[in-house]
Structure formats: structure tokens, C-alpha cells
Structure 1
Amino acid sequence: MTNWINTVSRDHVERAVRGRFTQANHGKPHMLRKMARGDWLVFYSPRTVYPDGPPLQAFTAIGRIADDEAYQADITPDLQPWRRNVDFLDCVETPIRPLIDRLGFIQDKTRWGYKFRFGVFTIDDADLDVIRSAMMVTAPTLAQ
């Protein structure tokens, strides 16, 4: 099992949670094809709205991949992004700054945002536990 972070603005995360899916890298399939059923997926949102909304810098959703392969959604003739189905958990939006010192995937704590420029990347179980524990406080969720 692999743990993933997907860097996506909050407005796009909200659409994904409502639709029970994820997209990555502007609808391209290559990273989605690496995911497997049961993999954990955490969404990090640098901004509230894509592309120039106010900064947010928070984890905004968490779930597990719920299908066996990527599929292409037929939105319009010009828009057919690749997706994976996701079972989202109830969670709270969680600012990253209080977690930075505990996250091993952030090697340079002074330039912590660098890693998120890759869009989708893997994290280890210890980092997933830190993030999941912070997000799983009983409270209203994006999934509602």
C-alpha cells in the first residue's frame, strides 16, 4: 500500500469530494495509474481557489483509492480528464504549519513548500499517521 499527497486548490478538492474522485496534474493519467485500490490519498491545498486565490496552506481532504484503474471522464469534447474513485473520510481542514516539524517528507523546514510543487508524491506511513491524526478530529467535514 502506498500513501500519496495530491496538491490541489480547495475549490477543486471540494468538487472532488462531492464527486468521490481525484484528478492529478491537470487531468493527466501517469500518476493516477501508479495508485492502487486501498492506497491513502491526502489533499494539500496551497490556495483556496485555482489559480490565484488567497493562500490556504492546509490539508483539506483524506481518503482511499476505491477502484482498480484510472478512467477518463467525459466532461466536454475538449475536457476529458483522467480520474480515480476515492472513498473520502470525514475530516477537518488542517493547517500545515503546526505539523511541519513532525513531517519527514519535508527535509528543509525553512523551504517546506518546495515538495508540493511536484503535485502528486508519496509519503511514508509515519507522515500519513501525523496528518491523518490531525485531520480526524470529530468536526464538520468537506464530505458533508
Structure 2
Amino acid sequence: MKKWFIILGSLLLGWSAYFIYLNLPYEFKYEEGELREEVTSPSGRYTAQYYDQTYGGAAGGVHLFVNVVSHSEDEAVRTVYFSDANAYFHIKWLNDEQLAIRHLGGGDQSIVLTVGQEIYDGTGKACRRYAITKQYTCYSKKYSKEEP
């Protein structure tokens, strides 16, 4: 009987460690790709950078992501948008805090994000992570945001 408690306790401990590993240390950050466009916010406080990232070789595809560089926070870089590449993509600042992302083709994934408060992950993985949802409001194809 004691042997079963040890086995059951070990399985429970292993499952708990696996759950923590999958959910807590997740980081929504992309850095490797080809820079396609840079747009500076009206006051110069932020710069939005749009990147392409190829994957999978000849049968693969292209991811795209947008990083925002904060010039007032020692050039801190944060990823705010991630998705598969489609037909049309364009970024522009509406004001110092809001970044408009226009992404068409294969469904409209356009969104206006408030820098430092909101992110968009087309795969939805970031929106299922506790560490991300505690810090940001997360949107994806499944969890959408109404356009203002």
C-alpha cells in the first residue's frame, strides 16, 4: 500500500512540475527575423519594428511580428504582435500610445494595440499563459478586440 502512495505522489509531483513548466516561464518575445519596416511614434518615445521570419524550408511559411522599442526605458524591446504572414501588412502610430496594425489576407487580423498594455498572438498560445495574461490584455483570432 505504501508503494502505491509513493507512485501516486511521484506522478502528481511530476504532473505539477510539467504544468508549471508549460505555463509560468513563457515569454512572448521574438528577435530573429528580417527587418521590413520601422515607424517612430509622434513624440519619438517608441519605434515599432516589423519583421519577417521564415520557417520550415521549402514547404514552410513566414511568420511576422512587431517589436516596440521604448527609447525612454533603455531601449527595452517588447513583442506586441505575432501572426502568420498574409497578403497585406502595414503599421502606423495613431498617437504615442496606440499602434494600428493592418493585416489582411486569410482573414482580417487588424488591430489597434495600446503599447505596454495589450498584445496580439495569432496562434493564441500567449493568451493561454498565466504570466502573459497577468501582465497584458492578450488578443488572438479566438479572443478578438472590437475596433474603436
Q: Same fold (TM over 0.5)?
A: no
Higher strand share: 2
Return the structure number with greater relative CO, CA threshold 8 A, min gap 6.
1
For the pair shown, the structure with the greater C-alpha radius of gyration is 2
